[in-house]
Amino acid sequence: MIRRLPIESATPKSLAPYGTLVTANPARVGRTSVFYGDAVELWAQDRFVSDADTCLSVARVHPRPHEVVWMERHFKHTQTFVSLGGRPFVMVLGAPTSGPAPDPADVRAIFFDGQAGFMLHIGTWHEFPFAIDETTDMLVILRNETNRNLEVSENDEVEGDDLEKRDVRRRLGFTFGF
């Protein structure tokens, strides 16, 4: 059984339970560069959380069926995704929980138009982004520990110090789709 999710637009309000947009935001107070004056404007993002084990990678995301098989969460960092080339993508997100799976009532499919990135709150359940129309390259900021955790799976799930990756169908009895 698949529980269908409507696709919602990525806005500060729709994303508030899950994380924050990563974008130049003229509505916020920006600053100029000491070196470049008005030629460079800078906006601080919400606090990125990690430690020295952080890595920057590029993921090439190909279109795939719009069904969520796994959802995962991180305990030590605010994983961040930024579309390269301005291509749109969808993320399926669930608010942080204390239990071993997302609360289905809090799971949403959010459409990103490619004009801003997204930084997850610690503990936010998520599936890796879905490309919409074409292959999409994405900048991903995460901990190296997460990559190490992903190398050790048991029964198609992962349990690590920074990562829980869960089989949605096994945990909830259904998958999500959009």
Domains of the chain in start order, with CATH, are 2-177 (2.60.120.480)
**Tell me, what's the pLDDT at 168?**
96
Residue with tokens 């289905």: 104
Q: Which residues of 116-136 are buried (b: 16+ CB within 10 A; e: fewer)?
A: bbbbbbbbbbbbbbbbbeeeb
What is the average pLDDT value for the chain, to the nearest integer? 90
Q: Which residues of 34-69 are buried (b: 16+ CB within 10 A; e: fewer)?
A: eeeeeeeeeeebeeeebeeebeeeeeebeeeebebe
pLDDT digits (tens, 9 = 90+) for 12-21: 999 999 998 8
Which range has the worst mean pLDDT, 16-30, 46-60, 64-78, 146-160?
Answer: 16-30
Tell me: pLDDT of 107 over 90: yes
For the record, the structure tokens of 37 come out as 């004056």
Which candidate, 177, 160, 159, places its Cα nearest to that of 168? Answer: 177
pLDDT digits (tens, 9 = 90+) for 22-54: 876 767 667 776 677 767 766 667 778 888 899
Tell me: pLDDT of 95 over 70: yes
Strand 2-4 relative to strand 175-177, pairing: parallel
Kindly report the pTM of this predicted structure. Answer: 0.83
Instruction: State the average pLDDT over residues 109-129.
Output: 96
**Tell me, what's the pLDDT at 33?**
67
